[in-house]
Amino acid sequence: MRLTDVLISIVIPAYNYAKTLPRAVNSVLAQLGDAQAELLVIDDGSTDATPQVLEQLLTEHAGCFRALRKPNGGLSSVRNRGIEEARGHYLIFLDADDEMAPGALAALTRHISSNPDSRLIIGGHWSVFDDGRRVQHAVKPLPATPRQRVRGYLLDKTVSLSNGACAMHREVFAPGNYPEHLRNVEDIPVFAQVLARFPCTVLDQPLALIYKHGDSMRHDLKQSLAAGVGMVDEVFSSARMPRELQDLRQAFLAQRCLSLFRDCYSAGDYVNAKAFYVRAVRADLRSLTRWSYTRKAIRLLFK
């Protein structure tokens, strides 16, 4: 297919997901015929049976999708490679342990036809839990202005985005790709720059089934601490965030510190928790009025 023939590229990053990769791949292949779309799977140097599983899938579905293997570099490096290798105008990054919802590609194709200027399409999704429960998350209307969208995403938490449940035009990566020095929070700088700089629309339909894993908290905390507050600098770099929105930086720094405070407090890391709370207050005194955090900070005095 020529570049202009491919409307949507679905990129599945795979690192040690041999057990769930077939589910993700098959959920996409089942609907490729409903759209001008392609599937690309990128193995990020897996050390389990992912290469063998991928080879088997390529044999079973010969000519239906592409795959490549690269040295391990982390999720950002896989997505950046996907941007380079994908031939579609729009990209969807679907995690290897998730699924594309039935009818997603057909719905996206219709939406793009009706909204050709949209550069970010946000859909709903299903959360699937370890006990089998499913909870549907409908997409909410987007605020009208870039400032309201960025504030809603970074500060007010009224704008929610999930990979697999959104499609991004390749133009949105011009200000910056996924930051490879950040782990666990690499999506936030990209989503923020898109909301700040490009036309966005919502599609009122579930686009993905996102599987929730209860055993990931400790791993997430380790990655979050590694990213620390450096993520704030990345989000508000001049290349990503327009000058007129830079005034949101201090409030977001405080929000990031409060988030790290909460995570450390829940994990029993009270030394780091205290440090992050103090930094949040220094960044924005209004942090003191966030009572759910302040109550925990007061309890630290007795620990």
Percentage, residues of the chain above pLDDT 90:
89
Q: How confident is the model at residue 215 (pLDDT cuts 50, 70, 90)?
A: low
3-state secondary structure string across the chain: CCHHHCCEEEEEEECCCCCCHHHHHHHHHCCHHHCCEEEEEEECCCCCCHHHHHHHHHHHCCCCCEEEECCCCCHHHHHHHHHHHCCCCEEEECCCCCEECCCHHHHHHHHHHHCCCCCEEEEEEEEECCCCCEEEECCCCCCCCHHHHHHHHHHHCCCCCCCCCEEEEHHHHCCCCCCCCCCCCCHHHHHHHHHHHCCEEEEEEEEEEEECCCCCHHHHHHHHHHHCCHHHHHHCCCCCCCHHHHHHHHHHHHHHHHHHHHHHHHCCCHHHHHHHHHHHHHHCHHHHHCHHHHHHHHHHCCC
Put simply, whether the predicted model's pTM sits higher than 0.95 gets the answer no
Q: How confident is the model at residue 218 (pLDDT cuts 50, 70, 90)?
A: very low
Cα separation values, 209 from 1, 53, 109, 212, 217, Å: 28, 21, 19, 10, 20
pLDDT digits (tens, 9 = 90+) for 124-169: 999 999 998 999 999 999 999 999 999 999 999 999 999 999 999 9
Joined tokens for residue 9: 């590229």
- 226 vs 278: which has the higher pLDDT: 278
Tell whether the model's pLDDT for residue 203 goes beyond 90.
yes
pLDDT digits (tens, 9 = 90+) for 5-28: 899 999 999 999 999 999 999 999
pLDDT digits (tens, 9 = 90+) for 92-109: 999 999 999 999 999 999
pLDDT digits (tens, 9 = 90+) for 66-76: 999 999 999 99
Tell whether the model's pLDDT for residue 88 goes beyond 60.
yes
Q: How confident is the model at residue 296 (pLDDT cuts 50, 70, 90)?
A: very high
Cα–Cα distance, 173 to 194 (Å, whole number)? 8
Tell whether the model's pLDDT for residue 123 goes beyond 80.
yes
pLDDT digits (tens, 9 = 90+) for 28-42: 999 999 899 999 999
Cα 189 to the center of its chain, rounded Å: 10
Cα–Cα distance, 117 to 138 (Å, whole number)? 23
Q: Looking at this protein, which amino acid is placed at residue 234?
A: E
Q: How confident is the model at residue 178 (pLDDT cuts 50, 70, 90)?
A: very high
Q: Residue 146: what pLDDT?
A: 98
Mean of the per-residue pLDDT values of the chain? 95
CB-based contact 39:66 (threshold 8 Å): yes
Joined tokens for residue 10: 């679905």
Average pLDDT over residues 230-252: 98
Pairing between β-strand 90-93 and β-strand 8-14 as defined by DSSP bridges: parallel
Q: Looking at this protein, which amino acid is placed at residue 33?
A: G
Q: Which of 289, 97, 85 is nearest to 212 (CA)?
A: 97
Joined tokens for residue 42: 């990128």
Percentage, residues of the chain above pLDDT 70:
97
Q: Residue 227: what pLDDT?
A: 87
Q: Residue 303: what pLDDT?
A: 77
Joined tokens for residue 34: 């409903």
CB-based contact 120:133 (threshold 8 Å): no
Q: How confident is the model at residue 214 (pLDDT cuts 50, 70, 90)?
A: low
Q: How confident is the model at residue 4 (pLDDT cuts 50, 70, 90)?
A: low
